[in-house]
Amino acid sequence: MNEPGEMDAGRPGFVAVLFSTFTTVFLAELGDKTQLATLLLSAQSGSPGLVFLGAALALICSSLVGVLVGQWLARTLPPERLEFMAGVLMVCLGLWLGLQASRSLIVIGSQA
């Protein structure tokens, strides 16, 4: 058993996990649909504090779902399969986003 404050070998420490998670989520959320919706809700409602509270609670809840599903997958699947599935998902998302962007450019080009 580990002493208090001692980390398991090969596992990142508290600060590393916290910083990595914060940075990843913060950068991923910049300029996305959620941030734009929050911006519009704040402008329309005249209650920025309540919009912030609602948006923060929603992000906490959606993050909790991600954490719980991630823990379940980690217990259910071998790490290699989980990494492979995550890689395939990221490639598929990248291809889908690229396709959406190219369709938008085609529509914009045809209107010019």
- Give 18-77 pLDDT, tens digit per residue: 999 999 989 988 888 889 999 999 999 999 999 999 999 999 999 999 999 999 999 999
- Summarize pLDDT for 6-26 with one digit per residue, the tens: 555 667 899 999 999 999 989
Rounded to two decimals, the pTM is: 0.62
Per-residue pLDDT band for 1 (boundaries 50, 70, 90) equals very low
pLDDT top residue among 10 and 87: 87
Q: What are phi and psi of 2, to 5 degrees?
A: -80, 150
pLDDT at 9: 61
